[in-house]
Structure 1
Amino acid sequence: MKKQILTMSLLTVFALTGSIYAVHADPLAGRMMGEMRGGGMGDGSGSGRHLAKMARVLDLSEDQQTQILAIVEEERTKTEPLRRQMAENRDQLRQLTHADTFDEAAVRALAAKKAEIGAELMVSRARTQNRIQAQLTPEQRLLAEKVRPLMQERRGGMGKHRNNDCYSRLADCPKTDARL
């Protein structure tokens, strides 16, 4: 029984620690609505909910919470232009894909630009993770490290998107009228 409780606790802690990384990895997953404006860590939406859970499980102090939120917001602000460029790149690629004639050179140029932007975003995520880890006590870091492998297994590994495969579950897709 104790082993089950410990396992579940560790899974929860890792889930919450991983949430900060996930939120930064997918900036559109949730906005920091209210947290930086005195609303606290948990506003019930997106990243705020994940950060609030992490704060409870890791027993983050008010100072740690404030510093972590500032780190995430600072990096999000720095990467906003890159994320905008990535969205524009996707739109351009979509247009090229559906064009009457295929322009391989243009697609290659977009692919190269996407790789460049992706590298910058990856560096930003790593920097953010490092800065967040620096805010944790040694005990909090140890606890977070212990649950990380369990959480990665639960999520299907790093970088795996959950529930985003519309082709395998076409009936559940929002726009099923446009079946292929």
Structure 2
Amino acid sequence: MKATTLIVIATSLLLATSPVTAGHHSKPEQADKSYKSARTGFSYQKMLASIELTPEQQQQLKQLMKEHRTDKPKRQRENSERDEMRQLLQADYFDEVAVTALLQQHQQQRLATRVAQLKLRHQIQQLLTPEQRQQLAEKQQQRKQNWQQNRKMQQGH
């Protein structure tokens, strides 16, 4: 139980950009909550936690998560980038070169973060047995089908 909880928590830190199905809601505030929860990556964690892992796999997964854990300097960097952008927007004149440079820097950092996330997912896949990979693939396919159905329902209203 403890290992499963650890897996869920650690994965949530790393896979926050993973899309999750947002159900159809008749109330706008519920839809907003679903959108926010859709950005947490919970679905991948839940699918991964539902697969029976050996103690060795759990330990290896724990080590992978530890190696890829996000850190505070990243948040501090993002805050400073926001401050820089705010200063550029509040300036007396618009410095297109500085804004472009800041946006390109941000884009490169997001790209590096996404590559690291996908690398982690690949490493997790390598820990799994073929049967576990198949289980995970089936769960992902089911999630995709649910997402498509929910999207069709939302477009119909």
TM bracket, shorter-chain basis? 0.5 to 0.7
Q: Any residues of structure 2 matched to 1:85-164 within 5 Å, and which?
A: 85-152=77-144, 154=146
CA distance in structure 2 between the partners assigned to 1:53 and 1:145 by the alignment: 9
Provide the residue aligned with 1:71 in structure 2: 64
CA distance in structure 1 between the partners assigned to 2:79 and 2:15 by the alignment: 15
Deviation at 1:59, TM superposition (A): 0.8
Q: Is the 2:48–2:136 Cα contact (8 Å) retained in structure 1?
A: no
Paired AA for residue 114 in structure 2: M
Provide the residue aligned with 1:161 in structure 2: none
Size of the alignment, in residue pairs? 118
Deviation at 1:97, TM superposition (A): 2.5
Query: Matched residues, percent identical?
Result: 28
CA distance in structure 1 between the partners assigned to 2:78 and 2:84 by the alignment: 10
CA distance in structure 2 between the partners assigned to 1:114 and 1:76 by the alignment: 20
Aligned Cα root-mean-square deviation (Å): 3.5
Deviation at 1:51, TM superposition (A): 5.2
Provide the residue aligned with 2:33 in structure 1: none
Paired AA for residue 48 in structure 2: M
- Please give the secondary structure, in 2, of the residue aligned with 1:101: coil
Paired AA for residue 62 in structure 1: P
Q: Is the 1:82–1:117 Cα contact (8 Å) retained in structure 2?
A: no
Deviation at 1:96, TM superposition (A): 1.9
Task: Report the TM-score when normalising by structure 1.
Answer: 0.52
CA distance in structure 2 between the partners assigned to 1:148 and 1:111 by the alignment: 33
Q: Is the 1:86–1:117 Cα contact (8 Å) retained in structure 2?
A: no
What residue ranges of structure 1 are gaps of 5+ in the alignment? 1-15, 28-45, 157-180
Q: Is the 2:60–2:127 Cα contact (8 Å) retained in structure 1?
A: yes
Q: Which has the higher contact order (CA 8 A, sep 6+)?
A: 2
Q: Does 2:55 correspond to 1:62?
A: yes
Deviation at 1:83, TM superposition (A): 5.0
Task: Report the TM-score when normalising by structure 2.
Answer: 0.58
Provide the residue aligned with 1:26 in structure 2: 16
